[in-house]
Structure 1
Amino acid sequence: MTSLNILSGGAAQGLVASLAAKFKAMSGFDIAGEFGAVGAMADKLRQGTPTDIVILTAAIVAKLAEENLVVPASIADVGLVETALAVRANDPLVTASDAASLRAALLAADAIFVPDTKASTAGIHVAKMLRQLGIADEVAARLKIYPNGATAMRHLAASDAVRPIGCTQWTEIISTVGVVLSGSLPPGCELATTYTAAVTIGAANAKQAQSLIGLLTAAEQRALRGRAGFISGK
């Protein structure tokens, strides 16, 4: 079976999955690889994991270009993804209009489900946000930290906590059964991250990787990107 090898942030997993059948019809290639915390995915590329294409944050892709690990001319923005709040499907929505109400919502939760606070885009932001709100120490024991947002959301869905809440990227929330998007983060606490695709320098299937980038970023896929949680793009 011929496969295109991908290393991607979890934010793009739903979008890639939604285009996999179309890509195979176009190219004859399946899509294989990993989706996870962007820092961990970048390190896998640096460590020599066979990879044709990466979809990571714009900042990380720019760094990989400086390190001569991706082809600069191939770099293309896929779109912007917000970090947001999530709750179980049958729980009351939790919204926060300002920092004070966000602080109160997090303090009221008895479990807070988040992705890796050292390697994932959303997790790093959550850790910073908790420090900014002055509650990092107070909620530390309630943090439920998982390797990526998708895993964190699956555990939130299955949680038996009384008042759990989650915080990760919009794309990972809306693609997980059993949780719902509860609300955006308020001004001063928000995060919107641009995700970018690139062909790797060592790509065994560079032509097909470029074709997938073209498919992901095409104007005719704008509605699909929106349904997958990307709030901007071509």
Structure 2
Amino acid sequence: MIGLNMLSGGAAQGLVASLAVKFREHTGVEIKGEFGAVGVMAEQLRQGKPTDLVILTRALVEKLAGENLVVSASIRDVGLVETALAVRAGDPRVSVSNADDLRRALLAADAIYLPDIKASTAGLHVATVLDKLGVAEELALRLKIHPNGASAMRHLAASDAARPLGCTQSTEIIATQGVELSGSLPRGYDLATMYTAGVTVQSAHATAARTLIDLLTAAEAEGRRAQAGFLGAAGS
């Protein structure tokens, strides 16, 4: 079966999986997606990895279009994704409404699971938050950093720490068994990132790639997007 090669941020993995069967029925094409830190995915495209479609942050997709790697006319927003807190399934949820609450929650954790703090959207943001709260140095040895949010959440689920905590994008938390969405970050420390899809200039299956974008952003997929953790309406 023909495969659609996709490079995507981990934020979209659950949504893409929920539409894979419908996409195959429409096109006869299988999705061959790779999901990871958005910076890593973008670099793979730049290095010439065969790719038909990208789903990355809007800013990054627009930058890739400016580098003549993504077709500008194909770009469509999928939806906003929050960076949020996660707890191991069965552990008490953490409620934070302000900076002091967040600082206390982080300092109370004996292990904090994060995605790549240099290449992932959530990881970069959390590193900034820790600095802003003045706890980066104190928590440095408790950080458990993984290549992407999905990997970080799987390790949180399997953690034997007494009081573990996770922080990544809400869609990755929702999609991972063994962890639970605990809540949003407080105002001033929050982040909602627009994820955007685009067909690559090198695409060998551009028509199928556009079909997947249509399915991801269709009005009738609003329920799937919400269930996966996306906020707001998709659009162009």
The verdict on a shared fold, with TM-score over 0.5 as the criterion, is yes
CA drift of 1:131 comes to: 0.2
- Residues 39-58 of structure 1 show CA distances to partners (whole Å, capped at 9, x for unaligned) of 00000000000000000000
**Structure 2 equivalent of residue 218 of structure 1:** 218
Does residue 113 (structure 1) correspond to residue 129 (structure 2)? The answer is: no
Alignment of 1:77-226 (within 5 A): 77-226=77-226
Does residue 69 (structure 1) correspond to residue 58 (structure 2)? The answer is: no
Classify the secondary structure of the residue corresponding to 1:78.
strand
Q: Write out the 4+ residue segments of structure 1 that deviate beyond 6 Å after TM superposition.
A: none
**Structure 2 equivalent of residue 29 of structure 1:** 29
Distance of 2:65 and 2:192 partners within structure 1: 22
- Residues 66-99 of structure 1 show CA distances to partners (whole Å, capped at 9, x for unaligned) of 1000000000000000000000111000111101
Distance of 1:65 and 1:2 partners within structure 2: 25
Classify the secondary structure of the residue corresponding to 1:113.
strand
**Structure 2 equivalent of residue 42 of structure 1:** 42
Distance of 1:162 and 1:223 partners within structure 2: 36
CA drift of 1:233 comes to: 1.6
Aligned-CA RMSD value: 0.5
Distance of 1:183 and 1:215 partners within structure 2: 28
> In the alignment, residue 122 of structure 2 is paired with which amino acid?
A
Distance of 1:157 and 1:208 partners within structure 2: 35
Classify the secondary structure of the residue corresponding to 2:14.
helix
Distance of 2:51 and 2:82 partners within structure 1: 27
What TM-score do you get using the length of structure 2 for normalisation?
0.98
What TM-score do you get using the length of structure 1 for normalisation?
0.99
CA drift of 1:61 comes to: 0.3
> In the alignment, residue 175 of structure 1 is paired with which amino acid?
A
- Counting aligned pairs with the same residue, the percent is 68
CA drift of 1:125 comes to: 0.2
CA drift of 1:33 comes to: 2.8
**Structure 1 equivalent of residue 18 of structure 2:** 18
Classify the secondary structure of the residue corresponding to 1:48.
coil
Distance of 2:95 and 2:167 partners within structure 1: 12
Distance of 1:168 and 1:95 partners within structure 2: 16
Query: 5+ unaligned residues in a row in structure 2: which ranges?
Result: none
Distance of 1:232 and 1:225 partners within structure 2: 9
Distance of 1:67 and 1:103 partners within structure 2: 40
**Structure 2 equivalent of residue 60 of structure 1:** 60
Q: How many residues align?
A: 234
**Structure 2 equivalent of residue 5 of structure 1:** 5
> In the alignment, residue 119 of structure 2 is paired with which amino acid?
A
Distance of 1:148 and 1:137 partners within structure 2: 22
